[in-house]
C-alpha cells in the first residue's frame, strides 16, 4: 500500500505502510532485570517478517559504562534498555536488526544475510501529530528504493561537493587553521619525543618484557596498540530538539519531554550502530575492529537561547546563533573543549545552503597538521588573533531543502564525515569513483542512497588514507593506559598525534582474541585463520550464524590457548610443554583437559633476574635488589653520566651510594653480563636515572630527556612556530617601528659603503691613494677633508690636461726640471 507521507516521496521511490497491532504492555522482565525477548510479525514487500527483539545488554550496548546523558547541562537518568533493542529475523539466522521499541512499535533497521536491508520508520517522524493517519503507524522501505541522489548530476567540480560541505574554498580555510597550531610548551613536545624514543627502546630491548606487550601487535612492520574503541560525544542542538518535540504530539509536558529524550537517544543509537557495522567490517591495512562507543549525550532545549545568544552563560549552549552557514556551525562545535573524547559531533535541523548534510575536520598523518580523531583542545592562529579549538569535531543536519532526511541517508552521511576525521578526503581519482552498476563508495563527495554494493564500503583510496592516520595514532601509547611512562610525560603535544582509543566495551569477532560470548577467534578472514594454522574455528567472514564458533565436532581451537592440537581440534595430552621456563617461573605443561595453559609455578623469591638488577617476587621480576640485601632504593643525582647509571642504594646512614662501593655488592655477590670479576651493578639500557630526569642509553650513560646540543636548541628557538607567530604579530602591531628600522638600516649601509670606499686601495692610477684606517681613527677630520678634496683633485687634473700648450710639448723646454701638480694648489710649472 503506497500513500504519500509528507516529503518522503522526494527521497524514496516506494514504501509501504504498517498497521500491525502495537505490542505495548506485553513485555516482561527476566530475573536478571532485562526484558524477555519479544516476537513481532508482520508482512510487507511480498515477504513475511518475524523479528526477535532483545533488550540491550553489556555485550550489545554502544554506551560506555560511565555514560552521561544531560539536558541543558543537567545530568538526567535514561534507561536505555527500556526502549532500545537488537535482534534478528527468525526466518534468517544470519540477519541482524537494531532500533527502538516504544509504545509497542518497532522502529529501526533490518539487515539480511543476502545483503537486503529494510528501514522501518514511525510516521511521527514525517507528519505533524494533527495530520497523522489513523489506519497505520509506520512505514517500511528497502534501501534500494531510496532515490534522493539519483536526480543529482555532476556538472562541475564544485558541484561534486554539494552534499558534503567540504568544498574547495572551505577546505582551504580549514587547512589554514589546521596548519596554524601553536605549541604552547615546546619543552614538553621535546620531552615527548625523547620519551617516545625511550619507550621504543624499552620495547626492543631484550631485557624488558612487560605484560603490556600482549596489547601490542606488529602490523606492516610497525608496533600497533590493540585498542580499537573510539569514544564519542553526541549533541542535539535546540533546533533538532524543537523539531522532534513538535513531532511527538499533543500530550502532557512530562510525557512529552521524556518521549523527546527517548527519540533523540534512539536516533543516536541507530546512527552509531550503523557506523559500527561499516567500520567493524573494514580492514584498514590489517587494523581491524574499529568501533564507536557513546560516552556522552547532550541535549539543548530552546529555553537556553534568546535572540540568538545563550540565555544563561552557565548553560553553555554553543549553538544559539540563528543564521550561520555550515562552516561557521562547525566552528561553533569546535569552540568547546572536547579533549575527553575521540570525536564530538553536533546534530541539528538546519537547512544549509546547497543541500549540505555534514562537515568535519580532515585528519592528516603529518604530525604538524592538526585535526581529526583524538585531537586535543589546542591554541591556533586565526587572522591576527589566538583562538582555542577542538578539531576532533563534525556536524550533521537531518533536513534537506525543507524535508526530513531518511535515517539511512543520514547514517551514511555520519560514516562519511567520520571518514574525514579518520584521514580520508573525498574519493579520487576516477578508479575510486566507479559509479554504476555497483555505485560509489562512502567517501564519494555527494551522499549515496545506500542501496548499491559500494555505498556502505570504503574504496581502496580511502582505506589507504585512513590506514596512514590510524597507524600514526595507534603507534602512540594510549593516553588512558594504566602503565604510564614515568619520565617526562607527554605534555601538551599540540598537533602531535595522540592515541585516545580504548579497549572495546564489547567483544569483537575477528581480532584474534577470544572474548566473552565467543567460542574462539582465529581472525577476520579465512586467510587470517590459515596464517594462525587454526582449522578449528570459523572466521568473522563466515557469517553471523557461525562466526567465532568452533567447527562441527571440534572440542577446542588454537585461538583458545596453546594446549589445543590444531590437527585434531582437541586438547593436547599431558606433558606437552605450553610455557617455557623463565627467570621467575617454572616450566608448565598442558593438563589434557583445557586448551588453556595452566598457571606456572613461581620460582623461589629473591632469585636475581633482569641481569641481576631485579629479583623475583611471586613469579614476577619486579623485586628490589636493594631490599634483598636490607637497603633501600635510591638514585644517584651527582656525578658523570656513567656514574648516574650505577645501581644505587641507601646505606645505613641514609646516604645514597653506588653499588660499586657497597660491601653487599662486592665481587662475586652478583653476576652481570660484561662485568666479570667487577663489583656492583649497572642499570640496564632504558632504565630511569637521575631521579627520573633521564634514562640510561645503550652505552650505560644517563641521558637527560631534554638533552639537546647547542645547534638543536638554537634551531628550536628560532624555528619554533610560537616564536615565528609572535614575531609576525609584533610586526603587524608595530609596523611604524619596522619602517623606521628599515630606513635606518638603508642609511647605515649607505654610510658604510661611502666610508669604506676611501679606505679601499684602487688599481686606477688616477685615483687618490686610499687613506689609512688607523690615521682616520686618530684624526677623523682627515676623512671629511679627503671627501671634499677628492673632487677638486679630479677637476684640476682635467684642467692640466687641457691647459698645457702643445708648443711646449713639441719643442721642449730648456732647463725644465720639475712639473708638479698639486690637488690643493693652482697649477705650478717650475723651470730651472
Annotated binding-site residues for Zn(2+) read 416, 420, 426
Count the neighbouring beta carbons within 10 Å of the beta carbon of residue 533.
11
Q: What's the chain's Rg over C-alpha atoms?
A: 39
3 state DSSP class of 279: helix
Of 613, 631, 635, the closest CA to residue 623 belongs to 613
Question: Residues of 127-157 as b/e, b for ≥16 C-beta within 10 angstroms?
Answer: beeeebeeebbbbbbbbebbebbeeeeeeee
Name the DSSP letter for residue 12: B
* Contact indicator for 501, 342 with CB cutoff of 8 Å: yes
Maximum distance among all Cα pairs of the chain, rounded to whole angstroms: 147
Name the DSSP letter for residue 29: B
What's the rounded Cα separation, in Å, for the pair 116 and 61? 24
* Contact indicator for 815, 831 with CB cutoff of 8 Å: yes
Which runs of consecutive H residues, i.e. helices, occur in 184-325? 186-204, 238-247, 253-280
* Contact indicator for 552, 568 with CB cutoff of 8 Å: no
Residue 83, C-beta contacts closer than 8 angstroms, at least 6 positions apart: 100, 101, 102, 262, 265, 266
3 state DSSP class of 421: helix
Of 51, 54, 32, 53, the closest CA to residue 43 belongs to 51
Q: Of residues 262, 263, 280, 417, which has the active-site annotation?
A: 417
* Contact indicator for 122, 105 with CB cutoff of 8 Å: yes
What's the rounded Cα separation, in Å, for the pair 531 and 508? 19
218 φ, ψ to 5°? -95, 115
Question: Residues of 668-691 as b/e, b for ≥16 C-beta within 10 angstroms?
Answer: ebbebeebeeebbbbbbbbbbbbe
What's the rounded Cα separation, in Å, for the pair 95 and 54? 14
Of 428, 498, 494, 475, the closest CA to residue 178 belongs to 494
* Contact indicator for 49, 89 with CB cutoff of 8 Å: yes
What's the rounded Cα separation, in Å, for the pair 515 and 506? 9
* Contact indicator for 66, 249 with CB cutoff of 8 Å: no
Name the DSSP letter for residue 405: P
Of 413, 407, 379, 374, the closest CA to residue 393 belongs to 374
What's the rounded Cα separation, in Å, for the pair 39 and 26? 10
DSSP string, 554-623: ----GGG-TTEETTTTEEPPTT-EEE---SSB--EE--SS-SSPPPPPB--TT-EETTTTEEEETTEEEE
What's the rounded Cα separation, in Å, for the pair 649 and 680? 11
Quote the distance between the C-alpha of residue 750 and its chain's center: 54
417 is catalytic: yes
Quote the distance between the C-alpha of residue 499 and its chain's center: 6
Alpha-carbon distance values, 44 to 106, 126, 142 (Å): 14, 20, 10
The three cell numbers locating residue 372: 581529526
3 state DSSP class of 791: helix
The three cell numbers locating residue 497: 598525534
User: Which residue numbers are catalytic?
Assistant: 417
Amino acid at each position: 500500500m503506497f500513500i504519500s507521507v509528507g516529503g518522503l516521496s522526494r527521497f524514496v521511490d516506494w514504501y509501504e505502510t504498517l498497521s500491525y497491532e502495537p505490542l505495548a504492555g506485553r513485555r516482561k522482565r527476566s530475573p536478571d532485570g532485562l526484558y524477555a525477548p519479544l516476537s513481532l510479525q508482520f508482512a510487507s514487500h511480498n515477504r513475511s517478517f518475524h523479528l526477535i527483539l532483545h533488550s540491550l545488554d553489556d555485550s550489545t550496548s554502544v554506551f560506555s559504562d560511565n555514560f552521561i546523558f544531560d539536558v541543558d547541562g543537567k545530568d538526567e537518568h535514561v534507561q536505555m534498555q527500556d526502549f532500545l533493542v537488537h535482534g534478528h529475523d527468525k526466518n534468517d539466522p544470519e540477519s541482524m536488526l537494531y532500533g527502538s521499541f516504544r509504545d509497542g512499535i518497532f522502529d529501526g533497521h533490518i539487515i539480511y544475510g543476502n545483503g537486503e536491508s529494510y528501514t522501518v520508520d514511525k510516521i511521527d517522524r514525517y507528519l505533524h501529530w494533527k495530520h497523522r493517519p489513523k489506519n497505520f503507524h509506520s512505514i517500511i522501505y528497502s534501501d534500494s528504493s531510496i532515490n534522493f541522489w539519483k536526480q543529482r548530476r555532476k556538472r562541475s567540480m564544485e558541484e561534486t561537493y554539494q552534499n558534503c560541505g567540504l568544498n574547495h574554498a572551505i577546505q582551504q580555510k580549514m587547512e589554514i587553521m589546521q596548519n596554524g597550531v601553536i605549541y604552547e610548551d615546546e619543552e614538553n613536545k621535546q620531552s615527548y619525543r625523547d620519551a617516545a624514543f625511550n619507550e621504543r627502546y624499552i620495547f626492543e630491548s631484550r631485557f624488558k618484557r612487560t605484560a603490556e606487550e600482549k596489547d601490542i601487535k606488529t602490523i606492516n612492520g610497525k608496533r600497533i596498540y590493540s585498542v580499537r574503541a573510539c569514544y564519542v560525544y553526541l549533541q542535539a542542538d535546540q533546533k533538532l530538539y524543537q523539531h522532534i518535540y513538535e513531532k511527538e504530539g499533543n500530550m502532557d509536558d512530562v510525557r512529552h519531554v521524556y518521549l523527546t529524550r527517548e527519540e533523540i537517544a534512539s536516533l543516536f543509537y541507530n546512527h552509531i550502530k550503523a557506523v559500527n557495522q561499516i567500520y567493524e567490517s573494514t580492514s584498514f591495512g590489517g587494523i581491524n575492529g574499529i568501533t564507536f562507543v557513546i560516552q556522552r549525550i547532550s541535549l539543548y532545549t530552546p529555553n537556553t537561547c534568546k535572540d540568538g545568544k545563550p540565555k544563561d552563560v552557565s548553560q553553555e549552549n554553543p549553538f544559539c546563533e540563528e543564521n550561520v552557514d555550515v562552516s561557521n556551525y562547525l566552528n561553533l562545535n569546535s569552540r568547546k573543549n572536547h579533549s575527553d573524547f575521540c570525536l564530538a559531533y553536533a546534530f541539528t535541523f538546519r537547512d544549509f545552503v546547497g543541500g549540505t548534510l555534514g562537515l568535519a575536520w580532515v585528519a592528516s598523518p603529518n604530525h604538524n597538521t592538526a585535526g581529526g580523531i583524538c585531537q586535543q583542545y589546542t591554541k591556533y592562529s586565526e587572522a591576527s588573533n589566538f583562538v582555542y579549538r577542538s578539531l576532533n569535531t563534525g556536524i550533521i543536519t537531518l533536513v534537506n531543502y525543507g524535508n526530513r532526511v531518511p535515517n539511512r541517508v543520514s547514517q551514511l552521511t555520519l560514516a562519511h564525515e567520520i571518514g574525514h576525521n579518520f584521514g580520508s578526503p573525498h574519493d579520487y581519482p576516477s578508479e575510486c569513483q566507479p559509479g554504476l552498476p555497483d555505485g560509489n563508495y562512502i567517501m564519494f563527495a555527494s551522499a549515496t542512497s545506500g542501496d548499491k554494493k559500494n555505498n556502505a564500503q570504503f574504496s581502496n583510496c580511502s582505506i589507504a588514507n585512513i590506514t596512514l592516520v590510524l597507524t600514526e595514532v595507534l603507534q602512540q601509547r594510549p593516553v588512558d593506559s594504566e602503565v604510564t611512562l614515568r619520565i617526562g610525560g607527554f605534555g601538551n603535544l599540540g598537533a602531535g598525534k595522540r592515541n585516545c582509543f580504548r579497549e572495546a566495551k564489547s567483544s569483537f569477532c575477528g581480532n584474534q582474541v577470544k572474548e566473552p560470548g565467543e567460542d574462539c577467534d582465529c581472525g577476520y578472514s579465512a586467510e587470517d585463520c590459515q596464517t594462525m594454522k587454526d582449522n578449528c574455528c570459523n572466521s568473522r567472514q563466515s557469517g553471523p550464524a557461525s562466526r567465532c564458533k568452533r567447527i562441527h565436532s571440534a572440542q577446542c581451537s588454537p585461538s583458545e590457548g596453546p594446549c589445543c592440537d590444531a590437527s585434531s581440534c582437541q586438547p593436547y595430552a599431558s606433558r606437552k610443554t605450553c610455557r617455557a621456563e623463565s627467570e621467575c617461573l617454572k616450566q608448565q605443561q598442558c593438563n589434557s583437559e583445557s586448551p588453556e595453559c595452566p598457571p606456572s609455578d613461581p620460582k623461589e623469591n629473591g632469585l636475581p633476574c633482569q641481569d641481576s638488577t631485579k629479583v623475583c617476587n611471586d613469579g614476577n621480576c619486579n623485586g628490589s635488589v636493594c631490599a634483598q640485601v636490607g637497603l633501600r632504593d635510591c638514585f644517584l643525582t651527582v656525578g658523570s653520566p656513567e656514574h648516574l647509571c650505577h645501581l644505587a642504594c641507601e646505606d645505613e646512614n641514609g646516604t645514597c651510594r653506588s653499588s660499586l662501593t657497597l660491601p653487599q655488592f662486592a665481587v662475586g655477590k652478583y653476576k652481570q653480563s660484561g662485568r666479570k670479576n667487577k663489583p656492583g651493578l649497572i642499570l640496564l639500557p632504558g632504565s630511569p636515572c637521575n631521579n627520573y630526569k633521564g634514562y640510561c642509553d645503550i652505552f650505560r650513560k644517563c641521558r637527560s630527556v631534554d638533552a639537546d646540543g647547542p645547534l638543536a636548541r638554537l634551531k628550536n628557538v628560532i624555528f619554533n612556530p610560537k616564536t615565528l607567530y609572535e614575531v609576525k604579530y609584533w610586526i603587524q602591531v608595530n609596523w611604524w617601528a619596522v619602517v623606521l628600522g628599515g630606513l635606518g638600516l638603508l642609511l647605515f649601509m649607505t654610510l658604510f659603503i661611502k666610508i669604506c670606499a676611501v679606505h679601499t686601495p684602487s688599481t686606477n692610477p688616477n685615483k687618490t691613494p686610499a687613506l689609512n684606517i688607523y690615521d682616520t681613527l686618530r684624526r677623523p677630520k682627515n676623512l671629511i677633508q679627503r671627501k671634499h678634496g677628492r673632487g677638486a683633485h679630479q677637476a684640476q687634473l682635467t684642467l692640466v690636461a687641457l691647459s698645457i700648450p702643445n708648443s711646449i710639448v713639441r719643442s721642449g723646454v730648456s732647463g725644465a726640471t720639475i712639473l708638479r701638480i698639486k690637488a690643493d694648489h693652482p697649477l705650478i710649472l717650475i723651470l730651472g
